[in-house]
A and B are shown apart, each in its own frame.
Chain A
Amino acid sequence: MTTELEAFSYDDAIVRKFLWATFVWGLVGMLVGLLIAVLLARPELTAGLPWLSFGRLRPLHTNAVIFAFAGNAFFTGAYYSTQRLLKTRMFSDRLSNIHFWGWQLIIVAAALTLPLGFTQAKEYAELEWPIDIAIAVVWVIFAVNFFGTIARRRERHLYVAIWFYIASIVTVALLHIFNNLSIPAGPLKSYSIYAGVQDAFMQWWYGHNAVAFFLTTPFLGLMYYFLPKAADRPVFSYRLSILHFWTIVFLYIWAGPHHLHYTALPEWASTLGMLFSVMLWMPSWGGMINGLLTLRGAWKKVVEDPILKFFVVAVTAYGMATFEGPMLSVKSVNALAHYTDWIIAHVHTGALGWNGFLTFGMIYWLAPRLFQTKLHSIKLAEWHFWLATFGMILYATAIYSAGLTQGLMWRAFDETGRLQFPDFIETTMKLMPMYWVRAAGGTMYLVGMVMLGYNVFRTWRSRPARYDVPELKAPALARVYVEPAGHAAPAPAGALARFSRAAWHRTWERLPITFTVMVVLAVVVASLFEIIPTFLIRSNVPTIASVMPYTPLELAGRDLYIKEGCFNCHSQMIRPLRHETERYGEYSKPGEFVYDHPYLWGSRRIGPDLAREGGKYPDLWHVRHMENPRAITPKSIMPAYAWMLTNRLDFEGIQPRVDAMAMLGVPYGDAVRRAPAMAREQARGVAASILSQGGPKGLDDKEIVALVAYLQRLGKDLHAAPPAVAHTGPGGN
């Protein structure tokens, strides 16, 4: 064979950059996590600072650990393994660096805007529209760089890890763009183009698949590369890994609606979500078994090597979390677990165990190779492993018990048929000891992270003066695929044999574009079948004549509710379960949310549901409660929002918001011309009512009146008299 050899080298500088970023942001994200864990038990620690309150920091924690920590970890591993699996340097060093700095800038922007209250109020998609655009741009740059690398590869077959990367890159782009479609109402304010049920559906199509394609498939790719590397043996079954890939691509995308059981979502949609979630159990466990069996005959190594220990726990945690996921999607289990800490425990099994441990193992494996020296201390890594493992177990035990406890208390009836714990706060107080154990577990995990940083830092310190960049040689990839001589099969006996020999699939594998198109097709088709009916079949969202848009003042109040992150602790969705209707009132109907851009159903009840809050308490009650919740409910863990009584409401800023809403089809009528005046008028009324109840004077231009107006409106429209002039609802939007 007379193939000419080409010389090339790998770009490890970019991998080193991403590795440091992974550590730094991981530390920040976990620190914020610990802070908000403590705030749940000691809310007064915020010292009255708005940007320290739970509602604003919780999205910072989730975004930091998902997109900054796990994201950078994925990039670290992907940049390292892609070059080696494809036997080529990255397509463009410049694009690699733009990707790196762009991504870090986005994280900094998130870390600044979220505590300041700029949020879209959609979980894991909180970042406002300019940052969303930046994310899309940087992601496309990453994709160009990645696919360019594939095009220049010198290896015929694309290893399965690359498939997982491809699926992650294209699907995340799709999810991100469609879930974040919104109409800007200011430089850092926008409204989702979807409303109510449809917005919820989009959000959890996104939310669930973000877990799938940002936290699962990228890390499976890493697992299929780094686990064989660390164990120094090939993966147990390559077949199983391919099956694993296709099942995830075919099934995962369908599972989103299980986040919305018993909500106002159509029955068939959530049943479908449940069915697919249960089917997901198979590939997930296939993957776990594949990972664990790769270590067959190498268990002795596991005893000695902390890296393999990290991988074993990571793969096991993946198995646990993916067993639990389908279980939680079964409606009857979900009825108990939804809105409780059980879900928090579930995601932390995944995040701490799967993503965290896989990342740690990968970093310990990479550090000596990237810094071209020995790891500073294997013993310290061993300590990190045990500390993090026990921290995680403490965390999980405490929070699983907390979830179960609260879920059971919410639904408990006494022998007279009344709620056994009608006071919500009783169920909260029960959790306090568990919250402290959680904080202890989280601290251990965080200390482990610091140990990792120290270990990597010391390893870096003993690096050589100049990194050695070995020059490699390999022939270029031929344009046309030639069946290897050794592979020449006997003449095909029939169509099935030809099919199963599957030259067609090999053709895909050589043409990443075609392969990518197939993945996109699978994802898009599944998504369309899942989403279209909710959007276009009117009977799925019946119109309720008495449901009217929020007044300009209420809209401003709703935006304050969003800004302070109230939805992080309060749901607005009463499920048709007896204990819920008993506790909160009539269950929520799909038609009640047609003007809710974005929807605010929430996903966790740290405080009670607010869907029927309107009219439950006098205006003054809300003022006092926001000023200091503990003045009303002595043991409340809600942060105080005293600044709302002094901050002036931006009346003029209401007009662009009303206009944006009107653009989305909300029938605002007269308000598109005189929103501020209408808001001022209503504000005077609310302030007067507060004053007449014995409250403070001079609130009529303060934020609190807008919030009170909004809260007093919640859930009232259902039984309000229909408007005299019948208006046509926006229907399907």
Chain B
Amino acid sequence: MRLSEIMSHAGLAGYAVVALVIFVLVFVAVAIRVLSPSRKREYDEAARMPLDDEKPVNPRKGGKP
């Protein structure tokens, strides 16, 4: 039996909908995390990164450089 026959009988068409749901759920999880207020400070720092070409804005060991 060829793989294509096995797959044909597996009723895969609905899997796309399952994937759709999974993707939406993962995205919602990411969104919750990103929007959580506790990360504001970190994001504010990150946003400044392009503006400084010389010193790391988010350095290796905590605290400001």
Q: What residues make up the interface of A, taking CB atoms closer than 8 Å to B? A: 1, 3, 10, 81, 84-85, 87, 154-157, 159-161, 224-226, 228-229, 232-235, 238-239, 242-243, 246-247, 250-251, 254, 268-269, 272, 275, 472, 474-478, 482-487, 489, 497, 499-502, 505, 522, 525-526, 529-530, 532-533, 535-539, 731-732
Contact = CB atoms under 8 A, between A and B. Distances in A.
Given A234-B48, A272-B16, A477-B60, A489 B38 contact: yes
A506 B12 CA distance: 36
A250 B13 contact: no
Between A156, A251, A501, the greatest number of chain B beta carbons within 10 A of the residue's beta carbon is seen for: A156
A211 to B, nearest CB: 20
A155 B54 contact: no
B16 A238 contact: no
In the complex, which range does the number of interface residues on chain B fall in?
Answer: 35 or more
Given A242-B34, A536-B3, A84 B8 contact: no
Given A1-B63, A243-B34, A537 B49 contact: no
Nearest to A490: B38
A435 B43 CA distance: 49
A268 B42 CA distance: 43
B57 to A, nearest CB: 7
B47 A234 contact: yes
Nearest to A239: B34
A481 to B, nearest CB: 9
B49 to A, nearest CB: 4
Contacts of B39: 239, 501-502
B56 A537 contact: no
Between B15, B39, B59, B63, the greatest number of chain A beta carbons within 10 A of the residue's beta carbon is seen for: B59
13 contacts: A157-B57, A229-B50, A234-B47, A238-B43, A242-B34, A243-B30, A251-B23, A275-B20, A482-B62, A533-B12, A536-B3, A538-B8, A731-B4
Please classify the interface of chain A as helix (H, G, I), strand (E, B), loop, or mixed, using the class held by over half of its residues.
helix
Interface in B30-57: 30-36, 38-39, 41-51, 53-57
A529 B15 contact: yes
Contact of A501 (B8, B36, B51, B54): B36
B51 A229 contact: yes
Contacts of B44: 234, 238
Given A84-B53, A250-B23, A475 B47 contact: no
A537 B13 contact: yes
A87 B52 CA distance: 10
Nearest to B43: A238
A10 B8 CA distance: 56
In the A-B complex, the 5 residue pairs with the smallest Cβ-Cβ separation, listed nearest first, are A484-B62, A732-B4, A536-B7, A234-B47, A500-B36
B43 A239 contact: yes
Contacts of A87: 55-56
Contact of B38 (A81, A233, A239, A500): A500
Contacts of B42: 157, 487
Nearest to A160: B46
A238 B60 contact: no
A539 B63 CA distance: 62
Contacts of B12: 532-533, 536-537
Between A155, A254, A497, the greatest number of chain B beta carbons within 10 A of the residue's beta carbon is seen for: A155
Contacts of A247: 27
A658 to B, nearest CB: 25
A637 B55 CA distance: 60
B19 interface: yes
Given A268-B16, A526-B23, A156 B47 contact: no
Contacts of B45: 157
Please classify the interface of chain B as helix (H, G, I), strand (E, B), loop, or mixed, using the class held by over half of its residues.
helix
A3 B60 contact: yes
Contacts of A228: 47, 50-51
A482 B61 CA distance: 6
A483 B62 CA distance: 6
Contacts of B26: 250, 522
Between A81, A526, A529, A530, the greatest number of chain B beta carbons within 10 A of the residue's beta carbon is seen for: A529
Given A487-B42, A500-B36, A538-B8, A268 B23 contact: no
B36 A474 contact: no
Contacts of A489: 38
A193 to B, nearest CB: 15
Between A3, A228, A238, A242, the greatest number of chain B beta carbons within 10 A of the residue's beta carbon is seen for: A238
A272 B13 CA distance: 11
A487 B41 contact: yes
A484 to B, nearest CB: 3
Contacts of B56: 87, 154-156, 474-475
A172 B20 CA distance: 23
A155 B59 contact: yes
Nearest to B38: A501
A653 to B, nearest CB: 33
Contacts of A233: 51
A539 B7 contact: no
A238 B43 CA distance: 6
A574 to B, nearest CB: 25
Contacts of A239: 34-35, 39, 43
A157 B60 contact: no
A533 B13 contact: yes
A537 B7 contact: yes
A522 B23 CA distance: 8
B61 A3 contact: yes
A156 B19 contact: no
Contacts of B2: 731-732
Given A234-B48, A235-B47, A505-B33, A486 B7 contact: no
Contacts of A535: 4
Contacts of B58: 155-157
B28 to A, nearest CB: 10
B32 A246 contact: no
Nearest to B49: A159
A156 B60 contact: yes
B27 to A, nearest CB: 5
A360 to B, nearest CB: 19
A81 B50 contact: yes
A475 B38 contact: no
A671 B60 CA distance: 67
A149 to B, nearest CB: 15
Given A159-B46, A234-B47, A268-B16, A538 B59 contact: no
